[in-house]
Chain A
Amino acid sequence: MNRYLLPLIAVIIMIPILVMGLRVDPSKLPSQFIGKAVPEFDLPTLKNGFRNFASTDLVGQVALLNIWATWCVGCRAEHEFLMELYRAQTIPIYAINWRDNRGNSIRWLQQFGDPYVVSAFDEDGRVGIDWGVYGAPETFLISAQGTVVYRFTGPLNRSIWEREFVPRIAALTE
């Protein structure tokens, strides 16, 4: 009996580790900026190349920062939901248009609606790298003090919103 005891203990120790391994999705990277100040940027806006949108403009209110592009299928999927948030005036949505073509992006907003307060134009993707972006869409929740509270990778929808964002926003505005 004793000779089976040691392997048994080893297996019992391994099981929770392996179960944890199954639950972790390796394609979802944690953001390195949670609890830190927003990475600095100062970019021309999408619609007006002479006006700039800077990270300092994010300070002062609880807001979203959405990373989007017209080549991004997930962005098209979440766009309708962003429009819903916009119409309900839930929260100001700022954006970075990431590695895209200006004309296409403006046309997209004309066609599908513009849920954004302002969209920065990050043509060469450098600011995206500063934010640790690894795929669009990504949505950051930013506190009034300008710290990154949460990042969601992938297209937003109602149920993700209720589950991941609503409680966090409630905690921030308390």
Chain B
Amino acid sequence: MFGYYLDLAMRSLKRNRMLTALMILAVALGIGTSMTTLTVLHVLSGDPMPGHSQQLYAPQIDPQGADSKTPDDEPLDQMTWIDGMNLLRAKRADRQALMTGGAVPIQPDNAAIDPFYTKARYTTADFFPMFEVPMLYGHAWRGEDDDAKARVAVISAKLNEKLFKGEDSTGRTIRANGADLRVIGVIGDWSPNPHFYDLNMGDYAKSEDVYLPLATSRDLKMSRSGSISCWGNGSDAEEALETESCIWLQFWVQLDTPAKAGAYRDFLVHYSQEQKVLGRFERSPNVALLNLMGWLDYKKVVPSDVKLQTWLAFGFLVVCLVNTVGLMLAKFMRRAGEIGVRRALGASRRAVFAQLLTEAGIIGLVGGVGGLALALLGLWLVRKQPDGYATLAHLDLPMLAFTIVLAICTTLLAGVLPAWRACQVAPALQLKSQ
């Protein structure tokens, strides 16, 4: 029966090519634009640590003076050196890492390569196991290395390729900022998006090329970049950063169960109280413990332009569908005579309805394929844009399947009203008026 419906549908669609083309075009445009924007949104709001993000938390405390206030009285989103070190040493979480970013000049031994700057991360040892960083060669450093201010570095596969032609470079040295660092590990393919652990580097920044212990970086006076904010009499002079009331470090913890997260929150409150008693904090405890996805939401990582475009594209899709409903209504009602004959010959309402919906489904399918082509074109255009996230805009398999399903479902939905109206045709009346 379905084959017959398909045949009837094809005949009917061929009969009025202009109208058919218009309907398909409308569906394709609507689907194409919505899928382009939705894919960008999907990519940008993705989970950088799938399966693991629930256990990662960004603790926030509020060491500010009594009279300096953030706009909504939110706790601060970075740590001072003193608090960071205190929380790090407390070891109340399953894992914890204190870090900041910077740029280091690398002077290759090979004279054929000019000196260059590369992005670096100064962090403590737990960074690697906590963020599940895969190691291609060697291993990351341990807590002892942090304490010893060891002159060691972990480098990215990209930098390893550039400096050591991709060989196992563990044990060799790199010259960074005038100091020799021993390479102890090479990271495999790792680039979480968004760059959640330090959004100051750019929300969708690529991961760093050089990693070294935080204490080492301070010891070697490595240049630091990112956001720094001071209050009271805090001066942002580099030498004083360890003692002043300035926030410039990111602190992340891993808490394996919700119960531990609750306990850690209590610990943050307790810590704030203790610091107030000691006279370091002036305000009553003001803490937050957001998990990774909550943190990305709080920091409004997904650009609002992208959200706006997505809403707009769906508005556009709705107009296209309303348009398709109107055109289908016209098309189906024009065939009232034919439907009357079929009804008179014994076709049930249900059969007529099914046949008309088949026709709508075909339009949806063809429109969906067209929309897919338009979405691919749209994403290609997005990738040409200069935004930091542009290169990420690719259609993955689930989105591809979703595109086709969305196209067919919406068109079927659009076909319901016209098909239902067409079924209501009274056969006798139609036959008489022929």
A binds B: no
